[in-house]
Chain A
Amino acid sequence: MAEFRAAKGDLVLENVTKSFTNFTAVDDLSMTVPRGAFFALLGPSGCGKTTTLRMVAGLEQPTSGRVLIGDTDLTGSRPYERPVNTVFQSYALFPHLTVRDNVAFGPKRRGAKDAQAQADATLALVQLTHLAGRKPTQLSGGQQQRVAVARALVNHPEVLLLDEPLGALDLKLRREMQVELKRIQTEVGLTFVHVTHDQEEAMTMADTVAVMNLGKIEQMGAPEVLYDLPRTKFVANFLGQSNLLSGHVDDTDGEHIIVSAAHHKLRLRKSRAAAGSGDIAFGVRPEKTRIHNTDPGASAAGNSIGPGTLLDVSFTGVATQYLVDVPDAGRWAVYEQNLDLDRIDSRPGDTVWISWDPGHAFGVRP
């Protein structure tokens, strides 16, 4: 039996590929998760995020590439040899053991003399001391979830992996657990790698988000940066919503490039464009746009589009959502906060224009 490897440091994936018989789940993926970070792997189902996680846990072995923690190469080692623990999506609690014995399972296997005491201390951290004697089936979903977290945390892993841990909880409990997990992570200071398909969850909790699609990382960075300046069409649409318009770079004007699309000349800051020439997709977030009943005119030239036909107006309380059909530019969404009651006078069928602040537009690869 191989030895437990007490590695310390950043989690590093080097050119990791995982192929199954008829498809490639993870395709030449490289990334570094700094020690102590709360890292989220975000993507739609089937994008390879869970496979990536399982390779870090040792539950799958990469077809090629390496998995390291610090300088220690963990590739090929078994799950029980790694300083890594997983919070499974279905919690996977041992049904025949009490909550306390579930949590003490890891320390016991590693020969800790005070396994029960460690379990009790960790149960206190997740505020479940009063349920220590129960069996998992006697707990609610949220409580089971916290047992699963405690069972992994008690081992003080170098990296804690969370596989859609909140997927089975209802919305209210999800919000509570998001805050709770964030608190625990801050308190214990461990590296958390959190896999989720919920973009809001990823952005709320993580310091760094990696958006995955088709086995590759599309873009990685702080949530605010990713949201403000997506670099690919996929990220622009998966992380929030975007109005996107395909065009090509026509001209430059100092710090700006001019994108020609749908009979409009749109201005875009060079620093916010993924390409300086050729084809580009021009994008702007719905909540960064405003709707007008009249042509905003020359003052907004390059930062507006229209005229279009208003298709739908929906009042959501906080905001009003407009759906506008702009000829050759498709359907645009506009979210306006309800600051100004007079403005709510548009009706479907009206002719409208859309404008935005030039600093909010972005350009992504087509």
Chain B
Amino acid sequence: MSALAHIGGSPSGTSTTAAPEPTKRGGMAAYLLLLPGLIWLLVFFVAPLVQLATVSLQSQFPGYPGYYYRNVDFGNYGRAIVEYWPHFVRSLLFAGLATFFAFVLAYPLAYAMAFKAGKWRGVMMICVIAPFFTSFILRTIAWRQILSDEGPVVSVLNFLHVLPGGHITETWVAVVAGLTYNFLPFMVLPIYASLERADPKIIEAGGDLYANGFTTFRTVTLPMSMPGVLAGTLLTFIPAAGDYVNAELLGSDISTKMVGNGIESQFFKVLGGYPIAAALSFTLMAVILALVFLYVRRYGTEELL
């Protein structure tokens, strides 16, 4: 997991021990070791990506729904965006909210695990990881039960008369709650890793240099854990933005659909929807890449090791 904490923070050349000069044979070995991974990437990532790109540019055979011919038709992208822009907005908004809430929940948890848990640290770690032993779909369905109109959450809120509309499922709240829950571990683990690596003496030094508990946290602990926060937000935001299971199982049929749902329905439910689905996939990828690039540029902590 610690490798994830390095996203955006490469160990730049500050090592004091000079690496030994790589020999010719060492260089060959490195390439040989890379080979299986490269082949894997080529077959299962690059090839499908190229295939998807060609599909996104295909045109429908007029009069034969479901048949396409090879073409370079960028109109697919236009049609996809015109039809699905609200889905894009929702995807980014829900993923952003889920990332925010996951951060708010994860940071205190990771902090407690790193500094306060003592012998309970292992148990807490298992609690964070344990949900992975159950299917993602099953856990999301369980959330439907938890948030259902007859369930404990809604009953209590309705009893207190603080829930406008009277239910949570079929609303964006349920979708964001599901996303937050499902990606929480991806936020907790990198933050925990970066806090756990921090020398407690550095935090003591904050106190020694006239910073009280809160100031030490603000000026020392939090900045030191930024690589973990950065990794955690990326690991949460990226899959959350592309997710369709939570919107499908917890959201409504119309007002809470995300891009993933659009892609899914174009692929599996709409006859002749392949090019649109492919165009949507590429657009989503481009949007996320652009956002991540800007985010890492802004908050990247490269010097921080």
Report A's interface with B, CB cutoff 8 A. Answer: 1, 4, 57-59, 78-80, 84-86, 88-90, 92-97, 105-106, 109-110, 135, 137-138, 140, 151-152, 155
Contact = CB atoms under 8 A, between A and B. Distances in A.
B201 A92 contact: yes
B209 A95 contact: no
A156 to B, nearest CB: 12
Contact of A155 (B210, B301, B303): B210
A94 B220 CA distance: 7
B291 interface: no
A315 B212 CA distance: 58
B207 A137 contact: no
Contacts of B210: 4, 80, 106, 109-110, 155
Nearest to A137: B14
Given A88-B204, A90-B201, A138-B14, A105 B223 contact: no
A105 B224 CA distance: 15
Contact of B209 (A59, A138, A155): A155
B219 interface: yes
Given A86-B204, A94-B224, A97-B223, 4 more contacts: A85-B208, A89-B201, A106-B210, A151-B205
Nearest to B201: A92
Contact of A109 (B204, B209, B224, B305): B209
B305 A57 contact: no
A151 B215 CA distance: 17
Interface in B196-247: 199, 201-202, 204-212, 215, 219-220, 223-224, 226
Contact of B205 (A4, A58, A86, A137): A86
A88 B201 CA distance: 7
Interface residues of B, number: 24
Interface of B: 14, 16, 199, 201-202, 204-212, 215, 219-220, 223-224, 226, 301, 303-305
B72 to A, nearest CB: 49
A79 B207 contact: yes
Contacts of A90: 199, 201
B211 A109 contact: yes
A59 B212 contact: no
A72 to B, nearest CB: 17
Nearest to B211: A109
A96 B206 CA distance: 13
A140 B224 contact: no
B205 A94 contact: yes
Contact of B199 (A1, A59, A92): A92
A57 B208 CA distance: 7
